[in-house]
Amino acid sequence: MHVLIFIAAIAALKLAAPLFIPFALAMFFFLLLLPVMSAMCRTGLPRFAAAAVSVLTLFGLLAFLAYLSAGPAAKWLEELPVLVPSVQAKLEPVSEPMAKIEAAASEVEKLADVDDEPASTKVRVEEQSAVSSLLDQASYFATLLVVTIFLTFFLLTYSEQLEQRIANLGRTFGERRRLLRIGRQLQVQISRFLGTITLINIVLGVVAGFIFYQLDVPNYWMWGGVVAFANFVPYLGAVTMTVVMSAVAIVSFDTLAQAAMVPLLYLLLTIIEGQLVTPILVGHRLDLNPLVIFIAVIFWTYMWGFVGALVAVPIIASSRIILSNIPATQPVARLLAK
């Protein structure tokens, strides 16, 4: 019975992703902004105003950074078809063994292709499909952004009332006290973790941007920002950025020896951040098993894409806090710890 309920819950999370994703993002930003808003409230600013200032500042900054990056990103995408042949030429000494395999596969594909539909018709259909898909994605992203902003604002404004009402759901004084304790621990521990990780990622992005500048990487400031943003995703963020920066370096430099310096120095920087800086500053605040974090990132990425990867650690950390406060589920909480 429990297995069926678990499977049904996973199916619901997957099928209703468009509904859950805004709530997950709003909770992420709520916990990130909560210390900032609390500091504003301590100065005498009304909670409503502090929430509005926090949300507008954060999303305004993100919009400004997106605007600055839009031009260089569009230029990279425009030049991509022209740059691919030069990349292939630079990688030719490495890729020669694969060329024969690809050629053989291409011949097999031609023999198997019996589609008589005119090529021009295919191109038109593909173009229409691409435009329609792009419009749908833009519409969904705009809706997601608006809903997330309003949800974050309302969570910040009414979190105290919501916390008290959730606590009142307990049938006894002990249950109400436990619910209140869980809520406080979630807010304090996850907020501090997200705040610390955000500061670390900002510094990482600045240092990475400076390194890219010293190496003459084009649009070094944009790639530094991407590095900071990607580092919110444990493991996968660093792996993805290593691949991306390798491709950027191959395009930007004449020799593979020059290009290799970019991903190598980036990897060295992320190793220092991941193995030295983050453990010192974050310490054992969440005390999560690295294997559990990796599995959580993979699982939530599959469920909700990049948003799932972004919120995977807060979700698993919140789950551990909740489980550790319930006597019957404390053994499960210990499984998630180091």
At 27, the pLDDT band (50, 70, 90 cuts) reads very high
Q: Cβ distance 262 to 217 under 8 Å?
A: yes
Q: What percent of the chain has pLDDT over 70?
A: 81
Question: Which pLDDT tens digit goes with each residue over 66-111?
Answer: 888 888 888 877 766 666 666 666 556 555 555 555 555 565 555 5
**181, HSE (Cβ side, Cα atoms, 13 Å):** 12
Q: Global pTM?
A: 0.81
Question: Which pLDDT tens digit goes with each residue over 181-208?
Answer: 888 888 889 999 999 999 999 999 999 9
Q: Cβ distance 83 to 248 under 8 Å?
A: no
Q: Cβ distance 194 to 314 under 8 Å?
A: yes
Give CA–CA dist 276/208, Å, rounded: 16
